[in-house]
Structure 1
Amino acid sequence: MINIVLLEPEIPANTGNIGRTCCATGSRLHLIEPLGFQISDKMLKRAGMDYWDKLDVTVYDCYEDFLEKNPQAAGNMFMATTKAHQTYTDVSYPEDAYIMFGKESAGIPEEILVDNEKNAIRIPMNHNIRSLNLSNSVAIVLYEALRQNSFLEAERDGQLHRLHWHNK
């Protein structure tokens, strides 16, 4: 199971959208406080639609609390940042990867990035654009990790129902 880690997310709609994406992909969501909203926030629930109750989500008091409760994340965590030297497609994601994203206004703090530089990844974009929307960034990187792992348990085949139209 892929793990999505949001460090101090600020915008409830983004986190709701990310929660919905996690439900759709069978991924686990980790939220590290402080949050810019309450978990009961209606914007969060609205963006997550009727999937929020199906979400595997854990909230942590701080980054150290997250690391303490997830020792398997050490050395297995990729950090999405515009400051990385490698792209998100340059790395190999294990089935139980942790992919961290920072808060919308500032990203992941430098002191965390410096200690994890070899696992820092970026999404290529035009030089005059600061960043993508957080929920879009999560979806891009998460689906690459899933693709590399044959989409794990996700349903791969859709069913097209052909309608037979007759001219009268």
Structure 2
Amino acid sequence: MRIALYQPDIAGNVGAILRLAACMGVGVDVIEPTGFTWNDRKLARAGMDYADAVEVTRHVDWTAFAAQARGRIVLLTTSGAVPLPEAMFRDDDILLLGSEGAGVPAPVHDRADLRVRVPMRAGFRSLNIGISCAIVLGEAMRQRGWPVADDR
């Protein structure tokens, strides 16, 4: 399983997702351009020393990412057709999150093999992408038998 970030805008969110990925043992794809420089100190601060423990692959654009993507693309979206409790995940899923400001464009939305939304109370638009990522990744890993070695 992997996490893919489509043109993320906020370095701190990416850093937090890198930390999540390190702790859960999943790789991260970053689809550029980003709204910050890769060496932004906010990225380093949010990722802490965990970021070095993540397999990160940067892609120059959506076309480059899509050409090498192996597995089912699962888009996390507020307009998703499948509520999270009904979604069934696979080991090769790529959890795709759009940019904080714009989400993903229609061609990317249409390319997704599965569109999932996190149900929430009426009147609220969306969650932070890091929070959404953690909720969906946690459910996906729970379904797959939580494939993380707890070596404490």
Measured in 2, the distance between the counterparts of 1:112 and 1:69 equals 15
SS at match of 2:5: strand
Q: Which residue of 2 aligns with 1:68?
A: 67
Residue 136 of structure 1 is aligned with which of 131, 135, 143?
131
Deviation at 1:126, TM superposition (A): 2.0
Measured in 2, the distance between the counterparts of 1:108 and 1:129 equals 20
- Counting matched residue pairs gives 152
Measured in 1, the distance between the counterparts of 2:16 and 2:86 equals 26
Measured in 1, the distance between the counterparts of 2:55 and 2:108 equals 25
> What are structure 1's unaligned runs of at least 5 residues?
159-168
Measured in 2, the distance between the counterparts of 1:121 and 1:151 equals 20
SS at match of 2:28: strand
Residue 86 of structure 1 is aligned with which of 82, 88, 93?
82
SS at match of 1:124: coil
CA-based RMSD of the aligned residues comes to 1.4
Please identify runs of 4+ aligned residues in structure 1 that moved more than 4 A: none
Q: Which residue of 2 aligns with 1:29?
A: 28
Given residue 53 of structure 1, which amino acid in structure 2 is its aligned partner? D
TM-score, normalized by length of structure 1? Answer: 0.85
Measured in 2, the distance between the counterparts of 1:110 and 1:128 equals 24
Deviation at 1:95, TM superposition (A): 1.2
> What are structure 2's unaligned runs of at least 5 residues?
none
CA displacement 1:51-97 (0-9 Å, x = unmatched): 11111101001111001122x23xx1110101112112312211121
Residue 143 of structure 2 is aligned with which of 139, 148, 162?
148
Q: Which residue of 2 aligns with 1:55?
A: 54
Q: Which residue of 2 aligns with 1:17?
A: 16
Deviation at 1:13, TM superposition (A): 0.4
SS at match of 1:30: strand
Larger Rg: 1
Deviation at 1:17, TM superposition (A): 0.2
Given residue 51 of structure 1, which amino acid in structure 2 is its aligned partner? Y
SS at match of 2:131: helix
Measured in 1, the distance between the counterparts of 2:45 and 2:100 equals 19
Deviation at 1:154, TM superposition (A): 3.2
Given residue 29 of structure 1, which amino acid in structure 2 is its aligned partner? V
TM-score, normalized by length of structure 2? Answer: 0.94
Deviation at 1:112, TM superposition (A): 2.0
Q: Which residue of 1 aligns with 2:105?
A: 109
